[in-house]
Amino acid sequence: MKIIKLLSLFVLLLTTLQYACGQDLKLNELEYFERQGVNVLVYNNLFTGGFNDEKNAGIELIHHGVRTAQGGAVRLSSTPEQWDLVPNIISRKVDRKANSIESTLRYKDYDFESRVVVKAKGKAVEVSVYLDKPVPKELEGNAGFNLEFLPSKYWAKTYLMDDRINRFPRYVVGNTVTKPNSEKLKQFKGYVTSDDRGTGKFIEPLPLETGRTLLLAPDEPEQMVKITSQDADLMLFDGRILAQNGWFVVRSLLPAGKTGKVLTWTIEPNAIKDWKREPNIGFSQVGYLPSQPKVSVIELDKQDKPLSNASIYKIGNDGTATEVFNGKIESWGDYFKYHYVKFDFSSVKTPGIYYIQYGDFKTNNFIINEDVYDNITDATSDIWIPIHMNHMYVNEAYRTWHGEPFKDGYLQAPPNTDHFDIHSQGPTTDTKYKALELIPGLNVGGFFDAGDFDIETGSNIGVVQNFVQTWEYFKPMRDQTFIDQEQRYVDLHRPDGTPDVLQFIEHGTLQLVAQAEIIGHMGLTLTNSVLDNYHHLGDAASLTDGLPYNAELGPYEVAPDGKSSGVKDDMWAFTSRSAARDLRAATMFAAASRALKGYNDDLSERALFQSKRLLKEATELLATQPQDSFDMRWGALGDISTNLQLYISTGEQQYADKYQELLWPALEQNVNFILLTALHAIPHMNPSYKEKLKPYVVKYKDYISELEQDNPYGVPIGLGNWAGSGMIVNFGTTICFANKHFPDIIEARHAFKTTDWLYGNHPYHNYSLVATVGAARPKEVFYGNNRADFSFIPGNVAPGLLFRKPDHFENYDDWPFLWGQNEGTIGGNTSYLIFGSAFKNLIK
């Protein structure tokens, strides 16, 4: 009996020990530190060489399911901004035996290397910085270790620095000093900046607090973190004081003149005992047709045991809720971090107001009715698109969205200029204009690219093509916008007697024809010349002073004749020629010429002329380029579409022959990419063409089946630094057109996968990714030009669920400043316009 009792005690002690050990941070198979409720990533995601600090790299903390800290690295500023230098991670070593990860960080510009070792120690990680050589003299007082915390998860929460109590501010409030620009560390290599606003000084934030022990959010267990420093003071900064997208920064300076281990922090994120992430019950916030498939994908913590059933409740006219359906839960399996189950309630068809009940969790309400999709594109076409019309004054009732921007026009970008938005001007201008010479006539038409105010030529080409396809296939007669090109004035919610889409085609074509006629080919971009203007938020018309820069004048001085100023705020035209871009423009011009005929005949004729000219010249240019060049690879695909559109516009057989010559080999290489173009040709070709295309449609059907095995949502999910809504919208559009022409092969039901995803049936949360569209719970913050207001522009479509390696999807709805998940683009939103039009046509 005693032996049994001792054995029982041993088992109990062993179980307790195992439980305690299970609560310690351990390196998992995906090479990050993990315990239930806490993930510590160590350079699983690297800083980019493009936009430098994108706030999604370094040492990252995913705390109770939300990424709340990032950027852990040796940095050269107390509050790093987007274009500040970031280190290259030149090595990463995982030592499972030591339970540690070591990475070497290098700043090439300063020949400065450091090693960061992160080691799990119980419930905490120890972060140590090693130097083989002392901090370079020019970096003394600048080089320090930073870790940044997400403001939206900490504002209004308390913090303690060495037991002194304070509270994180909701809005940035803090102290700064100004210093001479000669003291500023040069981090904007090669970029022209004017951030001193002519004062010769720059702003430097002061810390909110300084000490050796920092406790963040003791009043909020899900975000509570304790940081202690053995070797140097911890300083807490509010990064928003210099840039609205800044985070709260914890920082320690690296000591001067020392080598070896120079800094050690202990970081202990709190883990709530027995914490499990709440189920994310996916469903369409817009609602459902009575007859459509209705499948909720429920995302579960892997520690959570799936329930066997879920229910649908109907809300009656008296406000009471009644269970009308109870169905089985079917397991799909694991997908990255979570486990997924499905709840099929397709049998619920009676129109009404409903919600889903899964265990103790219930969703907000949704509607089942025949008209739920009727207005899914209205906010995009009525509000978002016209607000993004460049070179126009845009008004909505009592509100001015922006005045007329860029009356001063665009200057020729100088040769060999690298731009902060990843553009560059080549060794020549490829035009007749000299560096910084005004290129007259470009300040007309066009659309802002996204949350900034540049005209990306490639995007605008695709945008006009999207408008033309929407017009030609579906003839939307919706007229809710007053557009006057002569007045350069737009007024929302005010019909003017002309379909809006037709006027959008005209507006985009005006800009692109101007480029072809004035530059001689298609430019790369029309954009800001100085970084200080590029991150401008607010009214686009206030971005420049309306006067060209004159180097002979002092800062903010205006010439006696009033025709120039000393303000470096001009917009530049980057004009390096690309044959592939010219081919894409030729495609668009051919299509636009058809749509504009009978509405703006002069512009129609000019567009058709430029289409033929650019096709001829681009073909000649391609013949001189290497086979593996970018233009050759993309030019071939552009040539397919160009010849198709020219054939549709002119009826000339030479274009049809060339189109088919190029199409079939391209389909063999990548049917998913080119099939939509091939489908658009069906109405214009003989019956044998459709028959020849049929096997490729069967291949696309196989692709749809593969997606159903790949992920629980059955859509193409992007895993890059830009979330995947665009791919999913294109997927839905392809299904709509494939079903139209091949209903016996491609079933209409697959199109609902796209609407389900866009409107809430996706990972992380169940908010609609389209701002304001008839949804009970749409996203409420987006990365637009009003992002500093934590707001949105109606009709915006978010990129969506951003994947953070190795296994985390996210979409912040309380922090708009990550463009890869929250920035709507003119290309993406007009792609949504054609999808929505095709989808509404399909369900009719």
Q: In this structure, what token pair is assigned to residue 345?
A: 């309630």
What is the 8-class DSSP label of residue 525? E
Q: Are strands 410-412 and 571-574 parallel, antiparallel or unpaired?
A: parallel
* Rounded distance between C-alpha atoms, residue 798 and residue 277, angstroms: 24
Q: In this structure, what token pair is assigned to residue 35?
A: 């315990």
Helix 826-843 vs helix 457-474: angle between axes, to the nearest 10 degrees?
20
CA 24 vs CA 97, 119, 121, 123, 268: distances in Å: 15, 12, 8, 5, 11
Kindly compute the dihedral angle of the four CA atoms of residues 739, 743, 746, 747, in this order, to the nearest 10 degrees: 90
- For residue 375, the one-letter residue type is N
Q: Are strands 338-344 and 321-335 parallel, antiparallel or unpaired?
A: antiparallel
- CB neighbours (10 Å) of residue 296? 24
CB 204 within 8 A of CB 178: yes
SS (H, E, C) 538-585: CCHHHCCCCCCECCCCCCCCECCCCCCECCCCCEEEECCCCHHHHHHH
Place of tokens 């913050």: 781
Identify the active-site residue in 54, 479, 532, 823.
823
* Rounded distance between C-alpha atoms, residue 391 and residue 394, angstroms: 9
Helix H segments across 574-724? 579-596, 601-622, 630-650, 653-669, 671-680, 687-710
Cα 404 to the chain's mean position, in Å? 27
In the sheet that holds 59-63, the strands lie side by side as 26-27, 33-35, 38-42, 59-63, 66-75, 144-149, 248-253, 234-238, 209-211
- CB neighbours (10 Å) of residue 89? 19
* Rounded distance between C-alpha atoms, residue 482 and residue 477, angstroms: 14
In 3-state terms, what secondary structure has residue 674?
A: helix
Q: In this structure, what token pair is assigned to residue 548?
A: 């060209």
116 membership: H or E segment, kind and range: strand 112-121
Q: Which neighbouring-strand residues pair with 490?
A: 394, 483
* Rounded distance between C-alpha atoms, residue 164 and residue 187, angstroms: 34
Question: Which residues in 22-60 are b (16+ Cβ under 10 Å) and which e?
Answer: ebebebeeebbbbbbbbbbbbbbbbbeeebbbbbbbbbb
Annotated active-site residue 479? The verdict is no
CA 814 vs CA 4, 485, 787: distances in Å: 56, 38, 11
CB 768 within 8 A of CB 782: no
Identify the active-site residue in 109, 484, 661, 814.
814
Place of tokens 């080999």: 665
In 3-state terms, what secondary structure has residue 711?
A: coil
Annotated active-site residue 814? The verdict is yes
**Half-sphere exposure (Cβ direction) of 461: Cα atoms closer than 13 Å:** 25
Residues involved in catalysis:
814, 823
